Structure 1
Amino acid sequence: MKALIIDDERLARKELTSLLKEHREIEVIGEAANIDEAVELIEEKNPDLLFLDIQMPGGTGFDLLEQLDRVPKVIFITAYDEFALKAFEVNALDYLLKPVQSDRLSDAINKLSMEPSDSEETVSVESQEKKLGLNDQVFVKDGDKCWFVSLSNIRLFESDGNYIKVYFDGNRPMIHKSLNALDQKLDPRSFFRASRKHIVNLSWVENIEPWFNGGLMVRLKGGDKVEVSRRQAAKFKEMMSL
């Protein structure tokens, strides 16, 4: 597993690199000391894992994650226990307190073996010009709440002004992004632009009914209903083999 270490403290990076030598399954392929360096390095190296500091000059680790379309697995590194506990409300892989202890590092790395492999999805993504597919993970931040969410768990995206409402589990956080921009990044084999306001996850479609003016009404698992515009109905029927 290829990893990057992102921390503004040189000694902290050096110490973690030394500890990781005991874990042959982890290959450190680069380091970054700030957000700008990290974004460039992530785009260049396409790592599987980030060891990410939370508080850095010029921004936080969360600010970095918000700039990424596809988020690698993340193990946070922090000097502030209470900050980490408040922030990682759902699906954080792990966080390590500074100074990093070898036993806690081992515990965090062991969790990686429980995560699903992305190898097959990586091939698929590359062939689809790096479109985001169901096995990709995204970072969602709404106020003080943060989530790491697999796209397979997101059933619906809904435009709301300059924001998008993201539907997963019982959550509906808002992110500052346009639906058009998001539509360009998602794999069209898995996500469908139902209308000007909605993108649906096709794997969540449970029932389809004819609707007014040649449109369709789609019911998703869990009960959400989305109207497919007349313009998109023919394409939707073709994709769903109706």
Structure 2
Amino acid sequence: MKAIIIEDEAIIADKLRDSLSEIAPHVEVQTILPSIKAARRWFSQYAQPDLLFMDIQLSDGVSFELFQYFDLRCPIIFTTAYDEYALKAFKVNSIDYLLKPIDEDELIRAMEKLKTRTAPMSLPAEVLQFMAQQATSPVRVYKEKLLTHQRNSVVMVEVNDIGLIYRDEIIFLLRNDGQSFVADYASLDEIETVLDPAFFFRANRTQIININAVDSFRPDSSGKLYLKLKINTSAPVEISREKAPLFRRWLDR
């Protein structure tokens, strides 16, 4: 069995690899990837492994970003110092969710779960309760207005009027009339969860676009897409070769 470790702390990655060699000698760690950038480069060149160990908070972002670029179907064991991502981890093909420092007994149990692929994740009680509440709600409600700041005022901006959301140290909303507002969110990951994915698409790590703001796009020889929006932007909107097919399907539905 071939495995990959995505972990930006070398000591932790080496310890995990050593633990695997002892408790699961049939697992061959192909490589250790220290960042999202390195992982994207690797998955662009090689086939998916049989097993993926994935830290969540990496030096250049949150590893869930990889699911925006690749259709990762291999089983995943998440390793993290934070329990706040357990629900999100459960929604992808997770085997387990191990909190750091990783206990060897927990790692053994995770590998046992991998054999069956039927054992449920060990989630905190409050997460299980939240999941049960979500299951009883048939329709997810997305934000219709967002709280923003402009000069010295707090402004409510209609979501339908937003053409582009981008990060430039802080998060900005660019309205269709060209006005710019500072979003009351700390990250694009956070704001993405409150937007309807039928209308908003995560173009890349720094930009989210509204489908109604797209005027046209052109591919280059590498397969990347360059978008022209109906509003003026200071930076071009670029979509990677890996994500281009997903964007085309989203646009042409």
Scaled by the length of structure 2, the TM-score of the pair is: 0.47
